[in-house]
Structure 1
């Protein structure tokens, strides 16, 4: 990750609209936190910002009331700053338990002395990792998401280091954390030697434990994935995907919508390879569906298709619909696909020409094309040019263009777009509260927050 160093004086010269992000006492160190979205940023007033591609949401479901939180990360004095905004109870915003709603990104001062390199959110908590692979967390721990207390500490109202024993094991091994990611109530970590750990809710087998464990309080080393060499994890609601160094995808957890890609509704507790002739370079997971990018620049989707997130569905047949592995029609796409991501019930792709496309649910305007959209087909988001990167939440999206401006669309009922007006935006709007911050390196959002 490349980020420019910014001094306190440079940051104080920023627009007054960002004063809550740039308080003098908050400039002493570099970490700020936000919950339902996490992103890293760097600012340089005299040079062009680096744009980093991140390689790194049938039966009608009752989706829980969602609250959204965001996290942002900056470099300052060679450290990274993390900010948070949106809505979130139980301290998951990282700013004390009584702070439950933020419209503008706000600095999290507890991490000022730590060089945060990775950030992630599950539904009810936030996780942070330092350059020494030290893990910190805050929020609800009812499902063991925060690796602390063996079920006896249900809540961390402030940011705390978590699981000293696990940290010592990692530190002694010399491993470096390369990915920290979250599903609804489970989390995962990938290290530079290809080892993969998972923890949290395991009721559907989503942590990969061979024996049933409703809750996995301690990080579980997945021996099978580690022996194969793990490149990336993608965690959905109650299932998990793993991309190996050989370009294969392994899946485990629930299978009610074929989210495991095996054309079966049988739960898998041990990672099982998706049988296909494709080799893959990137994966992402929605609530109950998956999306993957192949070495041949094809986009493959599978799983729940009730909202048309995989392919067209005959009118009246949407309920209960799911899909096997299906290749999206890219004939109308301009450019080579360089980035893929899932929302809870939608998918998104970005090409090297700066064009972005969406498919799936548009219940909260999250497709970014207004009310006139093509169900089960890719929709071109034409109102923004030269998109460089984007991040997805439950029913909302944030994107960055080549000029360093940030746009958002979808639900803003919990201020997850850092905009003052609580409503649904079915077309992209400029997010001044984010654009004023500078170049954001990373945003991490959970499938849902509440």
Structure 2
């Protein structure tokens, strides 16, 4: 290795195929990668060849390239001037709304009201209640107490999932979108209403339009295409579809307003409202403004996408946003967190239960670099770049992961999830009364209510602290043996 020209080694390291963990392993295994003195072209500017490779990968990263020069400098300063740490931030944020790389393969978790979806190496598993077809296993299965593989087209790989109250959506590697569940409000996008769709069915209206992300709200669906356009369908009682009216849409329709606003990089769906983040860091919100969820300082519904001026006036570049039932949380390009909406049970994390009409910085986490935010009914989770999980809000059914309630069932400020200290948490998703987390090693942990099997634990009704979930070899919907090994091995 030491005989190779340094520029060739640099090209290999910065090819984009290596992640932060890979670069760290390379640096740890060979002395030549730890000393900048061995690399003439670094000019002493970088501490090591690996650090230079991380710098080059960051420069080519789409999210980093979209930042202003000021935002780039701010991020690097937050990371202590270490490009490897900046790269870890970018990769972690990127995976927060899709699949994350783990030692067991690519994984994503999405929790609905009483069910859970899990991607593992392009296959999808589901568990919980399926009274309206949300599990995708067919009409005869109304509940699964353990994870069971969903039968999707064998030649297509699943790259993104979203679970909501009564319907589910899947994005394939081909860009196709499938959906299933209660379609009484047209939310499944198949052009007709009134019947439940029990197995994943392709949305034909999107044929020829490659998609990359879906977000399912209460009776509506938001779809993000590969080129940054947004389509919506379903119930539109509050303008949550973003078309300037309150007419329902039976098939996905393009939100034309975004044509002049920029490329959308992430979407999120709340109960009856929608967020869309554009590549310039602007958050656009529309739909119901009950509980001030839209972040505009009032409670007027918005029928068209409207930029949240609180962020625009401060030149705050938002990279991800999460829409809860009654509140919202956002993450900026430096890893700072903001919350707004209903403060009941401490869901906003500011130490009180006061509502916030517009975004407010979460000062209790200002010394942490956040990489994922997740909001649902009355509770919020934040993951940091160190793999730590913080939670606040309502502790009902143990869905915050704290086994000891003490004298209150409310956590008013971000609290470190001590029970997961020994694990690096890569992704987390919380439903109505349950929560599921994925670790960097590919382990899956669940906590909270399991009355309907939504945690995948057949042998317990619920758990107050994170308990490992094991997905064993099983039978899929066609009766074929599932060749996948257990997703999570038993931990010691």
TM range, smaller chain: 0.7 to 0.9
Larger mean CA deviation between 250-259 and 343-352 belongs to 343-352
- Inter-partner Cα distance in structure 2 for 1:183 and 1:310: 20
2:215 maps to 1:166:
no
Instruction: Quickly say closer, same or farther: Cα 1:413–1:116, change in 2 above 3 A.
Output: same
- Where structure 1 has 5 or more consecutive residues not aligned to the other structure, the ranges are 3-37, 58-65, 171-175, 441-450
User: What's the CA shift string for 1:364-387, capped at 9, x where partnerless?
Assistant: 222212313763211110111232
Shift of 1:93: 1.6
Aligned to 1:354: 387
Q: How many residues align?
A: 375
2:456 maps to 1:418:
yes
2:444 maps to 1:406:
yes
Residue 90 of structure 1 aligns to a residue in which SS?
coil
Q: How big is the alpha-carbon RMSD for the aligned residues of Structure 1 and Structure 2?
A: 3.1
Residue 428 of structure 1 aligns to a residue in which SS?
strand
Structure 1 residue runs of 4+, over 6 Å off? 38-43, 51-54
Instruction: Quickly say closer, same or farther: Cα 1:148–1:331, change in 2 above 3 A.
Output: closer
2:271 maps to 1:237:
yes
Preserved contact between residue 444 and residue 488 of structure 2 (Cα < 8 Å): no
Aligned to 2:233: 199
Aligned to 2:287: 253
Provide TM-score, normalisation by structure 2: 0.69
- Inter-partner Cα distance in structure 2 for 1:108 and 1:231: 28
- Inter-partner Cα distance in structure 1 for 2:321 and 2:472: 27
For residue 435 of structure 2, the aligned residue among 387, 394, 397 is: 397
Shift of 1:337: 1.2
Residue 305 of structure 2 aligns to a residue in which SS?
strand
Preserved contact between residue 418 and residue 434 of structure 1 (Cα < 8 Å): no
Instruction: Quickly say closer, same or farther: Cα 1:422–1:71, change in 2 above 3 A.
Output: same
Q: What does residue range 65-144 of structure 1 map to in structure 2 within 5 Å?
A: 68-75=114-121, 80-144=122-186
Query: RCO higher in 1 or 2 (8 Å CA, sep ≥ 6)?
Result: 1
Aligned to 1:281: 319
For residue 363 of structure 2, the aligned residue among 329, 341, 344 is: 329
User: What's the CA shift string for 1:114-170, capped at 9, x where partnerless?
Assistant: 33222222322222222222222222110101112333x5222333223x24314x2
User: What's the CA shift string for 1:36-81, capped at 9, x where partnerless?
Assistant: xx996999xxxx4467799x99xxxxxxxx8522223344xxxx22
Preserved contact between residue 41 and residue 439 of structure 1 (Cα < 8 Å): no
Preserved contact between residue 251 and residue 274 of structure 1 (Cα < 8 Å): yes
- Inter-partner Cα distance in structure 2 for 1:222 and 1:39: 22
- Inter-partner Cα distance in structure 2 for 1:72 and 1:407: 12
- Inter-partner Cα distance in structure 1 for 2:100 and 2:282: 32
Preserved contact between residue 98 and residue 108 of structure 2 (Cα < 8 Å): no
- Inter-partner Cα distance in structure 2 for 1:399 and 1:161: 28
Aligned to 1:290: 328
Aligned to 2:412: 376
Shift of 1:181: 1.4
Aligned to 1:190: 224
Provide TM-score, normalisation by structure 1: 0.76
